[in-house]
Amino acid sequence: MITNGDCNYNEDYKYIKENLEQINYRISRAAAKAGRKPEDITLVAVTKTVDPRRIKYALECGVKDAGENWAQELCQKYNILGDACRWHMIGHLQRNKVRHIIDKVKLIHSVDSTELAFEINRRATEKNIVMPVLVQVNVSGEDTKFGINGENLKELLISISPLKNIKVKGLMTIAPFEENPENTRWVFDRLRNLSIDICKENIDNIDMDFLSMGMSNDFEVAIEEGSNIVRIGSAVFGRRQY
């Protein structure tokens, strides 16, 4: 806990608290604009390179979900914080890392191949759990981004659907960074429409409950276009320190 005698801790806590208050206000405003309820939007605080002390401050300020990009860093922070929050694996996941995080995360956002899905299913079977996952779609077509292209999405989902210890719960994407977030709206619109198209297919074991899209610079536009999971890092914790 924070004590009045520790000015540095108090300043850090205040900074995160104020950021979260502003973010929650912006989420509520965007949800209202789209005719949705703010409580239907999950804020995942992206904790990449953030030390556990500052993550604790965010949890004390009401954050319930934390997202990590790297399996090793997730495991390190899990060893300190445990189940104090719901952990999400939001970054590219290598197959040889699945076994390390399979019993620690509540949702994997970044499934982009049959091979990865089969490995998650294998490791989940060993733990006797069913792992919820999202399929990452590279809507923008950027070479620097992971994810399957939209044209191959249905084929991937059909190949995953027979797996008993994995459950597809929706889609995820990462939009290009734009100074004007309006320029990313088409990406979020495209993912929402892909989700609608998949729903119409009625594929066994495939649900489209979640759209994970929107980050610090564009989450309001993403919410307006249907996102119900936003992944926000720098707007909570400040610029990352590498």
User: pLDDT at position 1, please?
Assistant: 36
CB 40 within 8 A of CB 66: no
pLDDT of residue 6: 54
**The Cα angle at residue 181 between residues 176 and 183, in degrees rounded to 5:** 70
Of 146, 141, 135, which Cα lies nearest the Cα of 194? Answer: 135
Give the separation between CA 182 and CA 237, rounded to whole angstroms.
Answer: 24
Which pLDDT score, from 0 to 100, does residue 4 have? 41
How much is the pLDDT for 240?
73
Which of helix, strand or coil describes residue 92? coil
Domains of the chain by start residue, with CATH: 7-237 (3.20.20.10)
Give φ, ψ of 226 to 5 degrees.
Answer: 115, 0
| Entry pTM | 0.94
How far is the C-alpha of 206 from the C-alpha of 81, rounded, in Å? 32
Largest CA distance in the chain: 60
37-88 pLDDT per residue, tens: 999 999 999 999 999 999 999 999 999 999 999 999 999 999 999 999 999 9
Rounded CA-CA distance 79/54 in Å is 15
Q: Residues of the chain whose pLDDT is less than 50? A: 1-5
